[in-house]
Structure 1
């Protein structure tokens, strides 16, 4: 449990005081799940004495109620992004969050103490949300949709913002355009289908057979089993934007083939992290930039299309649109199973073994 100190004066605003049970207090330590080194679920450590940093002016302290497990969490735990994160160990995993505002920095205006909020951290954040108290910037948070529980809300921001950045910020999809989502059965793909439908686009997707009905119900006009041979010939027509959540050579080939001239191909499986892991930060980052530029020029001249590696990035406009769509029941990401934070190892183990294909959420008491 967090360690609480009574604040002696109102001047302690600088140290992010907030009210609990009528007393002005400070959070100095709290429970958090630490990743001390890379490995399997067994390396995760739930500690009760993890320091809570002092808030910067633009930051918000959130009392965590629920966080979801994203593929990035399990990959980071296993060593993905090693060249970036290893010098910073131990780190705290977790990107999504839903909870209540416990304190705000001096320049924060959009949220207040006591507000229920949801949001997500950037992929490279080292103090994640697997903690009783998490720190996010103001732009990384929005009011929690009132129609959703904390568990339901925590499943949405990271996946939906990843899809939003690709489709709305990069491809700038608009009403009447055709969008293909390769891998629509996962959280990002499912969010992408719903965002595209809400934008008035005509949507097709590939997915496993178990997801076809769900995606058609979400508004996709065509959902094709990805195990079908000659899948590019089963999908009807050409597209203005393709979001590839799988990102293997075969899906890249199919996505490029199905694009209209001037269209956008966006893959979630960019090579920046893997190349920096292979060659180190000093060589890997410029090398990955060169690889991306080479591909962009290649496809621009050979197919007249735009090629992108796409990642989640905090965007207050995007998160607010996501909140509105959730309120309007036009966007949801179902939660398949919840675990208490004390069973974080079991939850990661279940995801590693694909025992739970859908969203898993960790709850805080």
Structure 2
């Protein structure tokens, strides 16, 4: 089978396509899945270049990738696929638990059964790539909103990076949780997309976002900040929180001590997926609450290009890797 391997830490050029890798065997508690598409995420390039704290958990050569969509092939001991509602041939999507550093840039994976959920019936083949980019971003968004920011009825929420893969899910999920308004920073070219998602766009490339937040809230500030950018936005955002406000940083290495030193509730998101959360996300896609935008679908041969787009930091929506065989992809 084909897979993309990382023989040593470094740039995108270090990612190589291997054509004849052995297929994995599912261990007890695992499901063997034929991968159709794998989602790309910022964590992937941080693991690739060694800058993530989790890079020390990788054994090189390694396969990167955290999430995917595909089809159930078989299961290991102790897994009753019928009981789980995942019989052979079922289309599934999922994300590896943070303790599992095996990747998804490969045609077949063995993955814990609890890290999977079925793709909703009636989903077209053309819509499958959206589910490759749903599990990690969606679980991150739900963790930030429900477990950390505790968004509640009437909250005004500010999202930095609303046009990115996680941001585009945060906006409608914050509104579903009861937020009265969602403000979102982003490029002016993405303003229409942010409005379509239900946010009030703040184009940082044409205006001062801090002044815009003050004007939008009459100087009161926002109740919640969820910051997907962090580096240039986290500390300035502290001055625009209302009394009792909360701030959540998405980058795993974010230092939130400047907020805590000021007595502000602050969190760094630690994604917490679960079968129920995955099913909730799938239902939200089916009922139209969530619209997962896929900006690029790339073949394995262009994986380096995908990583460069991630590192650029301005990718809109999700970048997805097409791992279908040449026969099925036609």
- Please give the range of the TM-score, normalised by the shorter of the 2 chains: 0.7 to 0.9
In the other structure, the counterpart of 1:225 is 203
Structure 1: 5+ residue runs without aligned partners? Answer: 1-29, 273-290
Kept in 1, the 8 Å contact 2:165–2:316? The answer is no
Per-residue CA deviation, residues 298-323 of structure 1 (Å, 9 max, x unaligned), is 132xxxx3111113232223222111
CA gap of 1:206–1:353, structure 2 versus 1, over 3 A, is: closer
Give me the CA root mean square deviation.
2.5
In the other structure, the counterpart of 1:8 is none
In the other structure, the counterpart of 1:101 is 72
TM (norm. structure 2) is: 0.85
Match of 2:123 among 147, 150, 161: 147
Q: What are the residue-to-residue correspondences of 1:1-365 with 2, within 5 Å?
A: 30-81=1-52, 84-85=55-56, 88-105=59-76, 106-108=78-80, 109-110=83-84, 111-123=86-98, 125-145=100-120, 146-147=122-123, 149-201=127-179, 202-220=181-199, 222-235=200-213, 236-237=216-217, 238-248=221-231, 250-271=232-253, 294-295=257-258, 297-300=260-263, 305-352=264-311, 357-363=316-322, 364-365=324-325
CA distance in 1, matches of 2:274, 2:182: 24
CA gap of 1:71–1:84, structure 2 versus 1, over 3 A, is: closer
Kept in 2, the 8 Å contact 1:34–1:44? The answer is yes
In the alignment of these two chains, the number of paired residues is: 311
Q: Give the superposition deviation at 1:225.
A: 0.9
Q: Give the superposition deviation at 1:182.
A: 1.2
Secondary structure in structure 1 of the residue aligned to 2:106? coil
Give the structure with higher Rg (CA).
1
Per-residue CA deviation, residues 236-287 of structure 1 (Å, 9 max, x unaligned), is 2232221000101x41133222223333200012427xxxxxxxxxxxxxxx
Structure 2: 5+ residue runs without aligned partners? Answer: 326-330
Q: Give the superposition deviation at 1:167.
A: 0.6
Per-residue CA deviation, residues 118-137 of structure 1 (Å, 9 max, x unaligned), is 11123564211111111222
Moved more, 103-112 or 308-317: 103-112
Q: Between the two structures, name the one with larger relative contact order (CA 8 Å, sep ≥ 6).
A: 2
CA gap of 1:69–1:147, structure 2 versus 1, over 3 A, is: same
Kept in 2, the 8 Å contact 1:325–1:331? The answer is yes
